[in-house]
Amino acid sequence: MRQIVSNIIHKSNSIGQRSLYACDVGTTRSGAAASSFAWSKIEPEAPARVRVSQDIERLVADISSEINVGKSIALGFEAPLLIPVPISADNLSRGRAGERDRSFAAPP
Specify the pLDDT at position 91.
77
Q: How far apart are CA 84 and CA 92, in angstroms?
A: 8
Cβ pair 72, 17 in contact under 8 A: yes
Q: Which has the closest alpha carbon to 88: 108, 60, 53, 64?
A: 60
Specify the pLDDT at position 30.
67
Q: What is the pLDDT along the chain (108 residues), one digit of tens a residue?
A: 444 434 444 444 445 688 999 988 777 766 655 567 889 999 888 888 899 998 889 999 999 999 999 899 999 887 665 667 778 888 777 777 776 666 666 665
Cα angle for residues 93, 74, 90 (degrees, 5° grid): 20
Residue range 37-64, pLDDT digits in tens: 889 999 888 888 899 998 889 999 999 9
